[in-house]
Amino acid sequence: MKPIFIAGPCSIESVELLDEVASKICEINRNLGVDIIFKASFDKANRTSINSYRSVGLEKGLQMLADIKSKWGLRLSTDIHEAWQAQPASEVIDVLQIPAFLCRQTDLVVAAANTGRIVNIKKAPFMSGMDMQYPYEKAEKSGASEVWLTERGNIIGYNDLAVDFRNIPTMQKFAPRVLMDCTHAVQRPGAGNGKSEGNSEYVPAMALAAKAFGANGYFFETHPTPEKALSDGPNMIRLDLLEDVIKSLL
């Protein structure tokens, strides 16, 4: 199975950022013969603090993403947090992502699947790989054209994650497509005094380890200047490093 790739900034910050990242993704697609799906969030509803940046909102965000699709010809992914967001998002988005902390929310998963779009469900950090058969079945039986699962690590103590790579082949027993979220897997949730920290230097190795365990898809949050990103900067891979990491996985 040919690997798929999803990449983009954590949240929509500006038209300029979306264009810069989309341009680079198109360049990588041409250079490596891949088809990276562009991902950015119109709302980050599960931020650590009430003061954290949440992005531009549904209506404006979907319009900005539609403009990216029209200008650059890229397929799109974004996450939804409430069931009512599924239908309007599906009019623009090719792959609807269910956030890890919401993967057990039946109404949300079913609403995403009812659109007929691809649904990518991220594994919660408090769940095992085998537990994910049930969110998978909810989406599969509710009309999704395809259902993907994404590994992103498990909570270990406070403010840290560890990845049990055995979850990848475990989930492949019932889900043909299992991705590795290589950037959120190096996140340290809530460890930054009201925001999350992370160790982005481990992202390339995280991706290669996932490949060794049979992952057939990879997710990267990326930004030209992660230290200036408005969300998830510490675990993002710098945009100019993305091509080499993807090349290592082909």
Q: Can you give the pLDDT of all 250 residues of the chain as single tens digits?
A: 899 999 999 999 999 999 999 999 999 999 999 999 999 999 887 766 777 778 788 999 999 999 999 999 999 999 999 999 999 999 999 999 999 999 999 999 999 999 999 999 999 999 999 999 999 999 999 999 999 999 999 998 888 899 999 999 999 999 999 999 999 999 887 655 665 677 899 999 999 999 999 999 999 999 999 999 998 888 999 999 999 999 999 9
Query: What does the DSSP assignment read for 146-202?
Result: -EEEEE--EE-SSS-EE--TTHHHHHTTT-SEEEEETTGGGEETT-SSSS-EE-GGG
**CB 242, CB 220: distance < 8 Å:** yes
Chain centroid to CA 140: how far?
19
Domains in the chain, CATH or no CATH each = 4-249 (3.20.20.70)
Q: How far apart are CA 3 and CA 5, in angstroms?
A: 7
Q: How far apart are CA 233 and CA 86, in angstroms?
A: 27
**CB 190, CB 15: distance < 8 Å:** no
- Looking at residue 39, its amino acid is K
Model pTM above 0.85: yes
